[in-house]
Amino acid sequence: MSHADLDQTAKSILTDNDQGGYTIPTKGLYPYQWNWDSVFVALGFATFDQDRAWREIEMLFEGQWRDGMVPHILFRKDDPSYFPGPSVWGTNGGPIPSSGHSQPPVAASVVLDLVRGDRTGQALERATALFPKLMAWHRWYMTYRDPDGLGVIAVIHPWESGRDNLPDWDDALRAVEVRDIEPYERKDTSHVDPAMRPHKEDYDRYLSIVAACRKVGWDPAKVAETCPFFVADPGVTFIFLRANRDLLALAQQLGMGKEADEIRGWIARMESGAKALWNPDIQAHVALDLRTGKQTDGISCASFLAPYAGLTDTATMAAQRAHFDRMASKVRYMMPSYDPEHGCYEALRYWRGPVWAMINYMIARGFAEAGDPARAERLRNDTAALIETSGFAEYFSPESGAGAGGGTFSWTAAIWLTWASPSHVEQAA
Ligand code: DGY
């Protein structure tokens, strides 16, 4: 397929998955509005319909809870093809039935991009309307996912990290007692090869965490105190630190002085807190179990988001480059979601090895901003090659380049349109 044909296919994927203002990640496997999927999708729409891009984010914020949280799934209609649906979550925090926790907060960063690339003349008005909602969500993160003010952000569930079966969660998840779950039937493995999905032992514990939080009514203070899983995630921490910097830029542009001061405080807290994620033995940022104080021992794709978060000191950058090059010598396509030299690496199982287009996009942006265009370009070329070879898959083998998980995937299409497509780059030049 030519680049122009791929551009067209990517647009058709977004419009086919469009449910009237919000976009599902893919048919069958994920039939609802997912939080960070939607936000990346907005970047894709912005390349050909900026009004529709704003709409995607505005509709996500329609589901914001009274306490500020923006849920990871909005169940706008019943769909028996997905499990666990609204009755398992048992939430009551917002205007739309939803899951009970959040997902990586990329929205402020994308809103800033929409403002900067605006061709509609309406961006400032729409950003002004979203700004207090973004503030409330960010304040919720600082209050309830960093309750001790450490400057690192915890996830209360592997699903909240967006990187569900990452090896970093293995120990903390194993410590979760399997309890209070009804017999259940998974739906994901009827849409996708089970070898590319999490194991049943994982699912039992995913559901046990949901049951524990349901028991405390999804009250975020009680969840922070009692949730059997509470792990600081370099992925959410770095994405959120970046989002805070972008929210600060928005606050300044919109003349929100008081809010800008509050955000500056968050950034300072996180810049110093990020040190707690640095594992000196392996020279990388890793996850930190806040219940046991134990750091993990593997390098994940999120370790490479430090530059995206603005952490570009000499020692961090030297370590990033060394790991990048070492991993690039082990796989054909960058960036594997887990270190291919780690014992837990699996090339095709979801977050234990496969390459994800939107992660490559964020890592590359960080590297480019940190003055390393060569590695950023390597990521873009690899992402383009994967899509050219295997289409708009959910994720890809870093070894063979085979597509895996769900097909005709919205965020892969969006990332193609906004960044990976060579014709997009030609236009921009
Ligand atoms: C799933 O159902 O696999 C999702 O990743 C949860 O968000």
Q: Is the CB of residue 89 below 6 angstroms from any atom belonging to ligand 1?
A: no
Q: What is the mean pLDDT of residues 63-87?
A: 96
Residue 214 in this model has a pLDDT that exceeds 90: yes
* C-beta neighbour count of 383 within 10 angstroms: 28
Atom of ligand 1 nearest to the CA of 198: 3
Bond prior to 335 in cis (omega within 30° of 0) = yes
283-289's contacts with Cβ under 8 Å and 24+ in sequence apart are 283/319, 283/322, 283/323, 284/319, 284/323, 285/234, 285/238, 286/168, 286/234, 287/166, 287/168, 287/169, 287/231, 287/232, 287/233, 287/234, 288/152, 288/231, 288/232, 289/171, 289/172, 289/230, 289/231, 289/232
pLDDT score recorded for residue 424:
63
Q: What is the mean pLDDT of residues 247-270?
A: 98
- pLDDT tens readout for residues 152-194: 999 999 999 999 999 999 999 999 999 999 999 999 999 999 9
pLDDT score recorded for residue 429:
44
Q: What separation in Å is there between the alpha carbon of 79 and the centre of ligand 1?
A: 14
Q: Do 306 and 366 form a contact (C-beta atoms < 8 A)?
A: yes
Residue of minimum CA distance from atom 4 in ligand 1:
159
Q: What is the mean pLDDT of residues 320-340?
A: 98
Q: What separation in Å is there between the alpha carbon of 363 and the centre of ligand 1?
A: 22
- pLDDT tens readout for residues 77-117: 889 999 999 999 999 999 999 999 999 999 999 999 999 99
* C-beta neighbour count of 261 within 10 angstroms: 11
Residue 428 in this model has a pLDDT that exceeds 60: no
pLDDT score recorded for residue 78:
85
Higher pLDDT, 2 or 50: 50
Which residues are catalytically annotated? 164, 394
Query: What percent of the chain lies above the pLDDT cut of 70?
Result: 99
Q: What separation in Å is there between the alpha carbon of 159 and the centre of ligand 1?
A: 6
Split at pLDDT 50, 70, 90, the class of 425 is low
pLDDT score recorded for residue 1:
84
